[in-house]
Structures are given as structure tokens and as C-alpha cells.
Chains A and B, each alone.
Chain A
Amino acid sequence: MRSVVLRHIRIVFSFIVLLLLSFLFIDFRGMVPDKAFGPLLYLQFIPSMLKFVIAGVATATGFVIILILTVLSGRTYCSFLCPLGILQDVISRIGGFVKRRFRKYAYKKPYTILRYFILALTAGILLIGGVYVLTILDPYSIFGRLMTYFVKPAAIFLNNQVAGILGKFDIYTLYKIDIKPFELAVYAVPAAFLMLIGFLAFRYGRLYCNTVCPVGTFLGFLSKISLFRIRFDEDKCNRCGRCAMSCKSSCIDFLNKHVDISRCVNCFNCLEACHEKAMSYGLVRFRSSGEPAGPDASRRNFIAGSLLMLAGGSQIIRAQNTTTPVPTKDSTIKEDRLYPVSPPGSSGLSAYTSRCTACSLCISACPTSVIQPSVSEFGIAGIMQPRMDFHRGFCNYECTLCTEICPTGAIMPLMLEAKKLTRIGKAVFIKDNCIVATEKTACGACSEHCPTKACAMIPYEGNLLIPEVIDDICIGCGACEYACPTKPYKAIFVDGNPLHEVAKKPETKKMETAPADFPF
């Protein structure tokens, strides 16, 4: 196909994908229906693969579709579905507007060793049971963090400005939302990637995708056997070089009339750029001699073998349980928390930390902001992986949103009734910190917030009541810790459960009848 339609389809399609996926993260009013997250993220390669291979969710087959799509058509994923790729196209475009010469690309040699080294490192670490390199490099997760850490706060800031003006006119359809930054340390990685990817995209098109991104390298490797690809019609080509100039991947060597298919992201810019209609996208041609070679058997076998390895690797990963995080034990923290708290549905710390790529979708979506990026709570390798931070919020008793939307299977779906009995941690009362004991005045903020009354109030001195924790009905939602007003250390806190447990249901008593007359 030589038509320019392909490029236009790509632009429209990818723009819609970018808008939808951005909105998933920016949606600070919770407008996206819970059920929409799954289908929208179904095709994201790494989340789907982790969910299928590591979490063992048989329906997470999106990555298989991407594999098939790549074998058929090349790196279509990178231009049509990868939100980070599309975002880079937008940045490149802006770069081109700022400086015309940034719009003109030229053929460059690939950084073959570097890209395969990064791919091998990512895959290797993943196979021995560590998700952390993938956490840093998965393009979907990088995109998620950019949205969560930078774009969403900016959107809320804008919203607040408008809401402030509307509020003056008594209109409250927009409301203000307090922006609370994360802990400073967690910005390091997303900020570094924002600068790196932003600069590379602004100046060099898809250089990041073809050098650093392990998904790009992997799909590029696979697309060497793709059936459809960009081709030269050697008879028509007059070597004007417009194709190479338009190629964001710098992969068209027009002098040799050769396209490096492992770097081609199917943006179809070259089809439109070629005045001679010498570039086309179509079924690969088998030739008796010369370039480009058709898919050859040995190469195919090698790639098929790699895929098998990948599938087999799942067994290795599942068998290993080596990534138990180092419990944070900081002597300066008076609340003696042995373990961090992972979200309900994550089943426990080791399963959770080996599946989560810190895309931060749950952080963005959590209506109570209790889910916050960790700094070192899960160990330094777990930086940015979300944890329950009960100083910021508490887990709403009636909510299962994070369990429904997690794309990697790090947090698995929980029915509401099951979630209400899932004990992610347990409350620990420190009497010596408690207002009631120290000030001899009433408080009870903890018990007030407790949804199961695991935090009960029992008689204390005089007319006072003091908290007492009933362990077996505590689910570790952290409402008590959040509400506790003591500073700097709380008088009640939730210690994480390394393996989530099932709590007992709170008992109910039949209510006595109402008074028949006024008691006054």
C-alpha cells in the first residue's frame, strides 16, 4: 500500500489512544467507569505479559495479540498502542515546530550492542524473579508515572484555578482539590526519564524507543520476521532522501535502499514523504538474491526458541520466591512497623513486589489517596511501588477500585465482601502516645473511624474511654492511624501483614425496641 491514508489512520488512532490512556491517569474526578480500565489496558504489552505469565491470569492475553501483530505487521504496537511512543511523537512534533531542523531526520546506525544489552538485562533479571529493571523501563509504566507525578497535578492545578473563579459565581460543578506532593525521593526516576525521553524525542524522534526501550528492542527483534513491512520500489526510487528525512526512527538508509526493519515503528511518514511513490507498505517479497532477505528459517527458529524460553521462564519465576522485601526498621520511627502494607488484593508482600511495575495507576485512581509511592519501604529495588500510607489517607471500607484496575495482576480483583474481610495489616495501639492517657481528655478519633469496631473504646479513668484493639476483626484499613491526632508519632498504627489474612466478621446483636414515649 502506498497510500497516505495509513499515516492518517495512524495519527488519528494513536491520538485517541493517547487521550484515553492519559485520561485514565488524569481523571481526578473518578469519571472513568471501573469496568473501562481493563479493556483499555488489555493490549499494553508488559502489564499483560506479567499478568499472564507471573500472576497466571489466563484472560490476560493482550500480549499474545501484540506478538502476533508484530510477526504480521512489524512494530505497529510502538506507533499505535504504546502511550509513551505516541507521547514521543507529540513531543517530536513540537520539537519540529520549535526548530525546523529538528523535523529533519537522517539515517543513523543502530546502537545494537546497547539495545540488546538492555533487553538481556531486563529479561535476565525478570527471569531470576526481579521485576525492578522492568519497573524502571516498561514504557507503559514510565508513561503512567509521567501522568501521575506531573500531568495530573498540573491538571488539578488548572482545575482549581477555574473552580476558584466559578466558585465566586456560586457555581460548584468544578471543585477544588488539594494537591499533595509525594515524597521527594520518588520523583527522581520519573523526573530523570521525563528529561531523557523528552530531550531525545524533542531532538531525535524515536531514538529512545530504538536504544533504551526493552519492549521496542524485543518487538524490533521479532519484526525481523514480520510479513508486512516498508519496502523500496527500486525502479522508482531516485534517491532523493525525503523518506530518510521524514523517518523518526532514522532507520531508512536511502542510499542503499534499505530499511532497518527492527527499528521501523510503522509510523508511515515515509510513505507520504516519497514523491516518487517508491515507498510502500506490504507483504514482504521473497527474492532469489539481494536485499532485503525474506524471513529465513534459522532466524525464525531462533526467535521461536526465544519465545519458548520466555514462556518457560514463567515456571522458573513462579517457583522462586526470593524477593521478600527487607522490612523497614528505622529506629527513629517510634511506630514500630515491621512490614509495609500492600493494597488489598495483592495477597502479600512478596507476590506483590514481584509483579508490580509501579505504573502508578492505582495511586492515581485511589479515591482516598491512601495508595502512595514507596521510597524504601519495599527495599530500594521497590522504589515507586505503591504502598498503603495511612498518614495520607485510609482504605475506604466500601471500595475495591485498585483491585479492579491493576493491569499487571499485582493487585488482583476482590469482591467487596471479601475485601471487607481481607486483613492487609493489623492495628497496634501505643497507649503511651494516646491523648486519653497523656492528656486525660476524651478523643476516640481512631474508634470513630473504624468500620468494624475492631478499635473499640473501653472504660478508663473517670468518665473517659480509651481504645482497645480487637485483633481478629481488624482488617488493617488504617482509618484509625489516619484519624489519630497525635504528633509526630501516632498512638495507633497498622503493621503490615507479609501475607494477607482473612479477618473474622464483626458480630451483630439484635437491636432492642425503640422507646414508646418521650423520656423527657
Chain B
Amino acid sequence: MRSSLGAGLAAGTFMSLGPYEKVLAGKPLPQGANYDLVAVMGGEPAAMFDIGIQALGGIGSFVSKGQKVLVKPNIGWDVLPEKGANTNPALVKRVIEHCFKAGAKEVYVFDNTCDNWIKCYENSGIQRAVKDAGGKMVPGNSESYYQEITIPNGKKLTKAKVHELVLESDVFINIPVLKHHSSTRMTAALKNMMGVVWDRGYWHANNLHQCIADYALYPKKPQLNIIDAYNVMMRNGPRGVSKEDISNMKSLIISTDWVAADAAAAKMMSLDPQKIDYIPISAGMGIGKMDLSAMNIHRIKM
């Protein structure tokens, strides 16, 4: 009852917002276009998502009526939104609104944060955004929320404890923020999974790049990856030191293939995807494609 009321409210506010209606009514829908990747540039986070997801046939292609959806942003750090260390709250809010519009029964959001989780949830602005959109903010602070799974084909990572919501939800949407990372040089979609497991330290101690790729073999993986490249931290990542670390790229990358999404994201930061070890490793393991030149990419400039 409460959730359907929330959904109604979300849908209502959603319909009252401008750009999306125009998209719904106006532009021709690229049905059957089957893009490998959609990249949007030049708009505000929510508006870019409205247009970008439409190019992939709308969120209804991923979320069906009555489903439980897990939305996983990066909420790793106790910093304010403008520092770009966490996923943009406006984007998180809009994605949740789309999910409810498509008939989602419930939308859950959590992260196993690096800084104190309550402060991260609060100061990232994401808790507020999730509540406003009618979603549910779920704690990820206690080991008891995590259950052991196995990854039989993993080279270094063969088991992990993952948050119960990963196992319980019907749809998994990954919304990382693109930013510099002091060790892997870049973090986006694949590396965002370090926030759904309990013991990240194991990954760090046992070939970080291989563990990131190994985890991507686990079948309960995101159906959709939405990389927030609105405010991109270009150095001092992943936490950031000051606002000067940010480049205001106003971009968004959406793909069902997270290797492709990460490869495109690396390019946005003027990095060679080959140099981000977990990208070629993942591509080599058949997790996704990284050759952007061979892809059907839909580029939208707003």
C-alpha cells in the first residue's frame, strides 16, 4: 500500500516534469536500434538520463511491473555532492522515478561505504534523493546483511559475501560515478561492485584487477549500467581533496555491457582503456567488449 502510494507520487511528480514528456511525445523512438552503448552530453543529470534511456527503449525494457529493483550508486565517501566522489543524487533520483514509472514494486538502494555509512548516506544527498523518489535506503554496514556466494570460474576471487539485496532483487541497476582512482587509475561500472561485497580488503590483497574481473562473472550482475560523468574527479580520487579536482563534463554513459561502458568512460578521462588493467582482463574473460570502434554507439548532444 505504502509502496504503491510512493510509486504513484513518484509517477505524478515525474509526469509533471518537462523534458521527459517531450521525449515521450515528440522524438521518434529508435525501436530496434539495439545500441551497444548510449552516450549523452551537455545536459543536467536527470534530463540526460531521460533521453539516454529512451534510446535503449526506456527503462521498461529492463524493469517489469511488480519487480523489486536494486539500484547501486557509489556512496563511498562522506563528502558533499559537488565534489563528485559519489554518484549524483539527481541522477539516482531520476533512475528510481523511471523504475516506479515502469511499475517496479520496490526500489532499494545501498552501498558498503568506505567512510562512516550514515554520514555517507546523508551527506552524499543520496538518502534524501532516494526517499524523495519513493525508494528504500537499506543499510549495508553489518556483516549480517551479507551472504556467501561462489564464483566457480574466478581466477583469484572464487567466493565473496554479497549483500542480500543482490540475491533478493529481480533487477539490478548499477549507477557508478566516473572518477580517478589512485590505484586502478579509474573507477566506474565494474569497480563499483566492490560496494556490494563485505570484504573489499581481500580484493586489494589478491590482485585487485583480477578480482574486479572475477566478480563480474557472478551471474547476478547488473542488467543496466549508468555511468554518471556529470562532475568527473580527474585527480586525487577516489575520495578527492577539493572541488578543483572536478571537471564538469556533463555526460552520461548507459550500456548493458559494463566492460564497454568502462572503456568509454576511460576515454572520457583521456585514459587508454588498455591501461586500466581490469578492463582488458574482463574483456579477455568474455565479460564484455572493449573495442569501442566495433560498437553501435548512439551519441546524443543536448
Whether the Cβ atoms of A518 and B41 lie closer than 8 Å is yes
Evaluate contact between A485 and B116: CB separation under 8 angstroms. Answer: no
Chain B residues whose CB sits within 8 angstroms of the CB of A367 once the complex forms: 116, 118-119
Q: Is the CB of A441 within 8 A of B208?
A: yes
Closest B residue, CB atoms, query A172: B138
Alpha-carbon gap, A442 to B242, bound state (A): 25
B181 interfacial contact with A, CB 8 Å:
yes
Asked if A172 meets B249 with Cβ closer than 8 Å, knowing A485-B205, A518-B299, the reply is: no
B39–A510 CB distance below 8 A: no
Q: Is the CB of B267 within 8 A of A519?
A: yes
Residues of chain A from 496 to 520 with CB closer than 8 A to chain B in the complex: 506, 508-515, 517-520
Whether the Cβ atoms of B183 and A176 lie closer than 8 Å is no
**B246 partner, pick from A396, A457, A487, A511, beta carbons under 8 A:** A511
> Is A439 located at the chain interface by the 8 A CB criterion?
yes
B201 pairs with A485, CB closer than 8 A: yes
Residues A177 and B142 in contact, CB atoms below 8 Å apart: yes
Give chain B interface residues in 194-239, CB to chain A under 8 Å.
200-202, 204-210, 232, 234-236, 238-239
How far apart sit A170 and B183, CA to CA, in the bound complex (Å)? Answer: 37
Which of the segments A54-62, A139-147, A448-456 contacts the partner chain? A448-456
Contact of A448 among B123, B181, B268 (CB under 8 A): B181
- Contact size class for A? 35 or more
In the complex, what residue of chain A is closest to B37 when comparing beta carbons? A520
Q: Is A368 an interface residue (CB 8 A)?
A: yes
A463 to B183, CA, bound (A): 10
Q: In the bound complex, what is the Cα–Cα distance between A95 and B238 (angstroms)?
A: 57
Which A residues touch B143, using CB under 8 A? Answer: 178
Is A444 interfacial (CB-CB < 8 Å)? Answer: yes
Question: A513: which B residues are within 8 A, CB to CB?
Answer: 247
The listed residue (A442, A483, A519) touching B184 by CB distance below 8 A is: A442
Indicate if the CB atoms of B208 and A443 lie closer than 8 Å: yes
Chain A: which residue is nearest B76 at the CB level? A448
Given contacts A441-B209, A445-B204, contact A30 B244 (CB under 8 A): no
B202-A465 in contact (CB<8A)? no
Contact with B along A124-163 (1 / 0, CB 8 A): 0000000000000000000000000000000000001000
What residue of chain B has the Cβ atom nearest to residue A440's Cβ? B207
Q: How far is the CB of B147 from chain A (nearest CB, A)?
A: 13
Chain A hits for B185, CB < 8 A: 465
Residue B31 CB within 8 A of the other chain: no
A508 near B241 (CB under 8 angstroms)? yes
Residues of chain A within 8 A of B235, CB atoms compared: 509
- Contact indicator A175/B116 (Cβ below 8 Å): no
Contact A511 B247 (CB under 8 A): yes
Q: Is the CB of A511 within 8 A of B238?
A: no
Interface residues of B in 268-302 (CB under 8 A from A): 268, 270, 275, 277, 292, 297, 299, 301
Determine whether B153 belongs to the interface, using a CB cutoff of 8 Å to chain A: no
A486 beta carbon closer than 8 Å to chain B: yes
B142 touches A176 (CB 8 A): yes
Residue from A167, A450, A515, A520 within 8 A of B249 (CB atoms): A515
Q: Mark B103-139, 1 if CB is under 8 A from A, else 0.
A: 0001000000011101100010000000000001111
CB distance from A20 to the nearest CB of B (A): 22
Q: How far is the CA of A442 from the CA of B78 in the complex (A)?
A: 25
Complex CA distance for A486 and B123, rounded to whole angstroms: 30
Is the CB–CB distance between B238 and A515 below 8 Å? no
* A397: nearest chain-B partner, CB-CB: B78
A176 touches B250 (CB 8 A): no
Question: A435: CB under 8 A from chain B?
Answer: yes
Q: Which DSSP category, helix, strand, loop or mixed, fits chain B's interface?
A: mixed
In the complex with contacts A177-B142, A510-B244, A520-B297, A396-B183 CB distance below 8 A: no
- Give the distance in Å from the alpha carbon of A513 to the alpha carbon of B244 in the complex: 11
Please determine whether B139 and A506 come into contact, CB atoms closer than 8 angstroms: no
In the complex, what residues of B have CB within 8 A of residue A122's CB?
A: none
B88 shortest CB reach to chain A, Å: 15
In the complex, whether B144 has a CB less than 8 A from a CB of chain A is yes
Residue among B116, B182, B275 with most chain A CB within 10 A: B182
Whole-angstrom distance from the CB of B181 to the nearest CB of chain A? 7
Given contacts A367-B116, A398-B119, A515-B249, contact A442 B141 (CB under 8 A): no
In the complex, the answer to whether A463 meets B277 with C-beta atoms within 8 Å is yes
**Please, how many angstroms separate the alpha-carbon atoms of A447 and B200 in the complex?**
15
Nearest B residue to A394, CB-CB = B115
- Assess whether B245 is interfacial by the CB under 8 Å rule: yes
Interface residues as binary, A33-67 with B (CB distance below 8 Å gives 1, 0 otherwise): 00000000000000000000000000000000000
Q: Is A164 an interface residue (CB 8 A)?
A: yes
CA distance A167 to B145 in the complex (A): 10
The verdict on B264 contacting chain A, using a C-beta distance below 8 Å, is yes
Shortest beta-carbon distance, A483 to chain B, in Å?
A: 8
Report yes or no: B78 in contact with A170, Cβ–Cβ below 8 A. no
Q: Are B238 and A448 in contact (CB under 8 A)?
A: yes
CA of A30 to CA of B119, assembled, Å: 11
B4 interface residue (CB < 8 Å to A): no
Within 8 A of B (CB), among A195-233: none
Q: How far is A152 from B275 in the complex, measured between Cα atoms in Å?
A: 49
Cα-based distance from A506 to B184 in the complex (angstroms): 22
Cα A486 to Cα B200 with chains together (Å): 12
CB-based contact B119/A396 at 8 Å: yes
- A174 to B, closest residue via Cβ: B139
Give complex CA distance A175, B137 in Å.
Answer: 11
Q: How far is the CA of A483 from the CA of B242 in the complex (A)?
A: 21
A184 CA to B166 CA in the complex, in Å? 36
Which residues in B have their C-beta under 8 angstroms from that of A368?
Answer: 115-116
- A512→B249 CA distance, assembly (Å): 11
Contact A520 B292 (CB under 8 A): yes
Task: Kindly report which residue of chain A lies nearest to residue B114, judged by CB atoms.
Answer: A449
Return the chain A residue nearest B202 by Cβ. A485
B-contacting residues, A282-301, CB 8 Å? none
User: Distance (Å) between the CB of A449 and the closest chain B CB?
Assistant: 6
B201 touching A445 by the CB < 8 A rule? yes
Q: For the complex, is B34 an interface residue (Cβ under 8 Å from A)?
A: no
What are 26 A-to-B residue pairs whose CB atoms are below 8 Å?
A: A29-B118, A167-B145, A175-B139, A176-B139, A176-B141, A176-B142, A178-B143, A367-B118, A368-B115, A396-B78, A396-B116, A397-B115, A439-B205, A442-B183, A443-B208, A444-B182, A447-B183, A449-B114, A450-B182, A451-B241, A465-B182, A485-B201, A515-B268, A518-B41, A518-B268, A520-B267
Q: Which residues of B contact A (CB under 8 A)?
A: 39, 41, 78-79, 106, 114-116, 118-119, 123, 136-139, 141-145, 181-185, 200-202, 204-210, 232, 234-236, 238-239, 241-242, 244-251, 263-264, 267-268, 270, 275, 277, 292, 297, 299, 301
Add 14 more A-B contacts to A398-B119, A435-B205 (CB < 8 A).
Answer: A170-B106, A175-B139, A443-B204, A445-B183, A448-B183, A450-B239, A451-B239, A451-B241, A453-B236, A511-B244, A511-B245, A512-B247, A518-B268, A519-B268
The chain A residues found within 8 Å of chain B, CB to CB, are: 29-30, 160, 164, 167, 170, 172, 175-178, 367-368, 396-399, 435, 439, 441-445, 447-453, 456-457, 463, 465, 483, 485-487, 506, 508-515, 517-520
**Shortest beta-carbon contacts, A-B, top 8:** A444-B183, A485-B201, A447-B182, A175-B139, A485-B205, A176-B142, A441-B207, A508-B244
